[in-house]
Structure 1
Amino acid sequence: MTRPETVTFRATTENGEVVDNPAGDAIRALMDGLDTTDNTFVIIEPIEDDPSWYMVISLRHGDTFEVERRDLARQEHELADQAGRASVAEAAATWIAQRRTPRQHWERAAVESLDEAGRRIEAWLRTNAPVTFTSLGSPAAAEEVAAVARRLESEFPPDLTAWLLRHGGARGGQGLPLPRGFVLLGAQEMAAYTERRRKLDADAGDPEQDWYWPRECVGLAANAMSADALLVDCTPGAGFGRLGTHDAVFGIEFDVASDLCAPSIGALLTEVADCLEQGGHFREGFPSWDDHPERPAVLDGRLIWRTDEP
């Protein structure tokens, strides 16, 4: 039987359930059907004699999954634990889109993911934390975002641009608080912060050192309690758009199981939206978060992230 030309990739679970061309919601549905006995994983791969890429999502326990991604053409292989069904499914759909569609289609998917997460966060803040909602920042003009990208000599990922177009302009407060003390920056703050961090490391010396700030990265969020930063990788290629952390002592980390690292801004904000709506711990089940779990709370109309410690 000849396969329809419109079917380009397929998801298959261990117990034989098959879905052609699954989008994020279909991947999520397949994940919901996994268990730890006889239906432990779903594999997604193109319909080719010798598949050029594949992804395997395996249930570990609860809401934690082991995600393996391999792209033979790009010589990439990643294996990491990830928590949060919605964010894992959304990140999977974005990763697959980068390999099966033209770039403009992937960009559209990334922006749609970011905008949906942004709408959910805004709705929750408007109802539950109105002071934070009013401090998110006005939309930045497209010309301003383009000017900041040129100033930093960087190509911005589409979801970074989309966030700045939502809340990258002037603001009346600190912006959106994230777990671990991070706060998202506006467009002009991002430019000034990135330039300052680049200069500090350039003045300090050796770019081969682990702590050196990569010139291809742009600061996305600053930490109110330390010199740590959340950054966006603007390097063309497979890592374009991923989020990493910069620690002045331990350097750069892009492991998605660590701190606030994520495949994209949209994936991270989807996790934040899930946590706000569900009220649980952020990234519950991640080993790096088990010692100091944080959950959203509201104080005087402001969103804060609170640990369960006395």
Structure 2
Amino acid sequence: MTTFTVEQSWARIESWLAQHAAVSHGLLRPPALPEDIAAAELRLGVTFPPDLKESLLRHDGVQLQDGTPTLGYYGPLSGVEDIVQSTEFLRSIGADLDEDEDEDDLDEEERDEHAYWPHERLLITLGIGWQSSDGLFLVSRPGPNHGRVGRYFDEDSPSFTPWPGLRHVLADFAAALDNGTPFNGRTPLGFEGQLIWDDDRTTVPDPLSPLGLAAEATEPLVPPAAEPVPSVPRPDGPYTVVAIGAPASQAAPVQPDVVFVAGIPPEELWDRLGSVPSTAGPRSREQARLSAAAPWSAYRPMVRVGWCGDGWSYATQEGGDAQFRRPEVLRRLSRGTRVVRLTKQGPEVRLSVTENGVERPEAARRVDSPREDYVIGPARQHWQRLGGDPWPGSTAAYARLLAELATEHGITWDPQDDGDAPLESALLLPVLDDMLSTRHPVSSVRDFDLGGLVDRTPPERLRSAMAAQLARLASETGIDTYPEIAQAVERIRRDLPVDLAADGALDLRMRTLAAESRAAQGLLDAARHQSAPSPIAADDLAAWAVRHSAAGAVREFLLLPLPAAAETVLNQRRSIRWRDDLAADLAD
């Protein structure tokens, strides 16, 4: 494969910039003077590799201002003065770090791998922040790595790139410009006279469904208790049984997260939590926890419901992501009534009272206790006591607050009493997170001046264009294959009302997409600690996350001010040509 020379690559770069990004083209600096290059070599005590000299003799870096041409994440190319300043700065840091080590004791490969900043290394770009904290470097030392290009980042160890020289970097950059192909993972574009970089995002069109896998799985059942073996007296007289070892520590009592709701039956409590009817059935606590931990659950929360006290229904969570600590859940449960919530998470115990969507701050309690299962040995080593309760203070606080509920609210419930009882239970399709109504002022998204567009565009035209962008996003991500979303997007396009009622078809679809994304993440996380591979691939997770986010963009379009929704829609567009699409949509 032929690699273009530095001169040939620069000719291609200049031609493309002149045609597609005139502002950026105008910020290329004139050639460096040969005597300036020689002075820099003398000052640094190195000889610049031929590729670097040729490039500097074509352009002595760039002018640093808006529109400056860059090598994507690697930043703008440095001029002679930049190279000197960056190299001396990084040498000074390296000298402080390596003052106790002798670089001369390391061979060439070891120095390039372990030394912070070898003396012959030159930083040739200014990185994403246009400063010496990151960028590309060249090795100027004679030897097998002479002229080789590496990547430097101040929060990581330097490493070599596949490029053997700057000539290859410039050739790949020129090819990316000419062909519209990625360079270091990003694609260059010309927009409003400037070279910009963006991501051309691809998505798996038909990801594997974790909820579909769960539907095919069988719910595990708690095995029946073994029959006790009767004691048989020994025929040869009296005997003694001796137990060896320390007595077992007493395990912490069962104290699940629980909510109590006044005046509604358990069936309605169940509905407000978002139960999945196909998973409903009576379960003991042991059965509910076993089922919640199995693939059958697909990481959806499991709850059990029942009656207690004087007109109170209650629900306990037995597995899955915590629900009763979420304000949107408490607000939904307390609609037209009162909810008392008692939760425990490690050292923290919380009690709250919410009435008709509003929490009563005077009724809130919070207790934090220290962890007590760590002890210090005689040699000051740390030991952990196994089998006991790590937070006995929190356990006592939970029991105390629960007992007070009988006096304050007439709630009488003991978690020890319903463990074996087969209470009605089900998995949940969790309600969606609250959407923040206040957002930062819209300014820029993906190097596009959205704030300026909002200011200069009539609201009706802006809304029409963003509705078209939303439709494009729905198509790119595949969420328009769901009838509920396709209908909503079409009604948005036609400026018609959209039904986003709680537990309506559109709401349930959005919650299902959130559940798919959560389950895919859970399966991949679990596979890291198992020998068997995950049935879900990383591309599947990415696709579900994209669909969940795109559905969220539809929701924002319906609930938030247009500028905020527009920012989300444009930020999520998958096609790298979305700016051209937007221009066409604004012109319609």
**Which is richer in strand?**
1
Partners of 1:308 and 1:243 lie apart in 2 by: 26
- Deviation at residue 183 of structure 1 after TM alignment: 1.3
Q: CA RMSD, aligned part only? A: 2.3
Say whether residues 1:263 and 2:164 are aligned partners: yes
Partners of 1:150 and 1:115 lie apart in 2 by: 25
SS at match of 1:245: strand
**1:160 matched to which residue of 2?**
52
- Deviation at residue 281 of structure 1 after TM alignment: 1.8
**1:222 matched to which residue of 2?**
126
Alignment of 1:43-58 (within 5 A): none
Say whether residues 1:243 and 2:149 are aligned partners: yes
SS at match of 1:127: helix
SS at match of 1:250: coil
Within the candidate set 54, 76, 81, 1:188 is matched to: 81
**2:139 matched to which residue of 1?**
233
Preserved contact between residue 211 and residue 248 of structure 1 (Cα < 8 Å): no
Partners of 1:173 and 1:139 lie apart in 2 by: 19
Partners of 1:116 and 1:135 lie apart in 2 by: 20
- Deviation at residue 300 of structure 1 after TM alignment: 2.9
- Deviation at residue 307 of structure 1 after TM alignment: 1.6
Partners of 2:33 and 2:127 lie apart in 1 by: 26
Preserved contact between residue 123 and residue 138 of structure 2 (Cα < 8 Å): yes
- Deviation at residue 173 of structure 1 after TM alignment: 4.2
Partners of 1:222 and 1:148 lie apart in 2 by: 17
Partners of 2:73 and 2:159 lie apart in 1 by: 15
**2:189 matched to which residue of 1?**
297
- Deviation at residue 252 of structure 1 after TM alignment: 2.0
Q: Comparing both chains, which one has the higher relative contact order based on Cα–Cα distances under 8 Å and sequence gaps of 6 or more?
A: 1
**2:182 matched to which residue of 1?**
281
Partners of 2:37 and 2:149 lie apart in 1 by: 19
- Deviation at residue 247 of structure 1 after TM alignment: 2.3
- Deviation at residue 250 of structure 1 after TM alignment: 2.8
- 1:199-238 deviation per Cα after TM superposition (whole angstroms, max 9, x unaligned): 1221233556836011111110011348222101001012
Partners of 2:61 and 2:153 lie apart in 1 by: 27
**Number of residues of Structure 1 aligned to a counterpart in Structure 2:** 188
Q: Which runs of 5+ in 1 are unaligned?
A: 1-27, 29-88, 91-111, 257-261, 284-292
Alignment of 1:34-113 (within 5 A): 89-90=2-3, 113=5
1:267 maps to a residue whose letter is H
Preserved contact between residue 135 and residue 171 of structure 1 (Cα < 8 Å): yes
Partners of 2:45 and 2:139 lie apart in 1 by: 13
Tell me the TM-score normalized by structure 1.
Answer: 0.56
Preserved contact between residue 218 and residue 231 of structure 1 (Cα < 8 Å): yes
Within the candidate set 61, 81, 90, 1:197 is matched to: 90
SS at match of 2:90: helix
- Deviation at residue 169 of structure 1 after TM alignment: 6.4
- 1:56-96 deviation per Cα after TM superposition (whole angstroms, max 9, x unaligned): xxxxxxxxxxxxxxxxxxxxxxxxxxxxxxxxx42xxxxxx
- Deviation at residue 118 of structure 1 after TM alignment: 0.6
Partners of 2:75 and 2:120 lie apart in 1 by: 21
Identity over the aligned pairs, expressed in percent? 31
Say whether residues 1:272 and 2:165 are aligned partners: no
Preserved contact between residue 190 and residue 220 of structure 1 (Cα < 8 Å): yes
SS at match of 2:189: strand
Preserved contact between residue 138 and residue 171 of structure 1 (Cα < 8 Å): no
Partners of 2:83 and 2:182 lie apart in 1 by: 28
Q: CA distance change for structure 1 residues 255 and 135 in 2, over 3 Å: closer, same or farther? A: closer
**Which is richer in helix?**
2
Say whether residues 1:177 and 2:70 are aligned partners: yes
Preserved contact between residue 73 and residue 128 of structure 2 (Cα < 8 Å): no
**2:32 matched to which residue of 1?**
140
Partners of 1:255 and 1:181 lie apart in 2 by: 12
1:216 maps to a residue whose letter is E
Q: CA distance change for structure 1 residues 140 and 150 in 2, over 3 Å: closer, same or farther? A: same
SS at match of 1:251: coil
Partners of 2:61 and 2:179 lie apart in 1 by: 29
Partners of 1:171 and 1:247 lie apart in 2 by: 23
Q: CA distance change for structure 1 residues 250 and 170 in 2, over 3 Å: closer, same or farther? A: closer
Preserved contact between residue 147 and residue 164 of structure 2 (Cα < 8 Å): yes
Q: CA distance change for structure 1 residues 255 and 298 in 2, over 3 Å: closer, same or farther? A: closer
SS at match of 2:5: helix
SS at match of 1:303: strand
1:217 maps to a residue whose letter is R
Say whether residues 1:307 and 2:202 are aligned partners: no
- Deviation at residue 308 of structure 1 after TM alignment: 3.2
